[in-house]
Amino acid sequence: MRKAFAFLAMLGFSTLSPVSAQGLSVGEHYTLRSYTGQALGRALSGSLKFNNLHVLTNNTTICASLVGAIGAGYVDSEGKRRMSTTVLNNPEELQGFNPASEAVALIFGGQASPEVNYGLTRSALRRLADTKYNGAIFFHLRIWAPRFLERAAQEDPTIAQYLAGKENLYTVTADLQNKVIRLWQVSVKDGKQATVRELGTIPMNPTWEDLLRRSL
């Protein structure tokens, strides 16, 4: 669990509130998420080449800043790539969710508690399974690092079967030693999460790297 929290901090997603987290002011936390979100958006549009993305997120201000930055890195001025966002106050709001997009990104983090984010994650996965959504799914590190996917698969056989049959699952990790963000294809089989293949890296500039290090 300590390793998972370290990964969260390295991407600027502190396990503390944005006011109390070590080393950064609230404004610097927003700036950090601008850099991080832009990188995620570019990975979704560049390495993964998604042209139609639907983001599911919670109602916290930190996730709002991250999703806005993802959009800024993802959309293009010509309008070739489309992005839509659904903000969830509770899992019940997923009942009518039936995405037609090429990919869905689960961005649950921010000031919400791990249990709130897990509840949203599990409900989103169950809805995607029930609707037989065959598009790609991108997972925020606040979902991947605490092993929410393993937990959901172990608690719900429908989710386990759905995830085990998908080859288009993705997440990112941060490598501060080499000053890059790494994009991964991942899997959830037999109730276990695993990285499958590295798909690319995004270099960190000095300001971004400094914010990341100071957020640890």
- pLDDT at residue 24 in the model: 81
Nearest to 173 by CA among 153, 191, 200, 148: 200
Q: Which residues contact 141 (CB under 8 A, 6 or more apart)?
A: 7, 8, 11, 13, 109, 171, 172, 173
Contact criterion met (CB below 8 Å) for 21 and 194: no
According to DSSP, the β-strands at 169-175 and 180-189 are antiparallel
- pLDDT at residue 31 in the model: 95
**Yes or no: domain 2-214 corresponds to CATH 3.40.50.2300:** yes
DSSP count for the chain of H helices, then E strands: 8, 7
Q: Report how far residue 180's alpha carbon sits from residue 75's, in angstroms, rounded to the nearest whole number.
A: 22
Can you give the pTM of this predicted structure? Answer: 0.88
- pLDDT at residue 33 in the model: 93
What does each C-alpha distance from 214 to 14, 90, 151, 210 come to in angstroms?
11, 32, 31, 6
- pLDDT at residue 5 in the model: 39
Contact criterion met (CB below 8 Å) for 56 and 124: yes
Mean pLDDT by 10 residues, the chain (216 residues): 41 42 78 95 96 97 95 94 97 95 95 95 98 97 94 98 98 92 96 96 95 83
| Domain boundaries defined on the chain | 2-214
Phi/psi at 149 (5° precision): -70, -40
In angstroms and rounded to an integer, the radius of gyration of the C-alpha atoms of the chain is 16
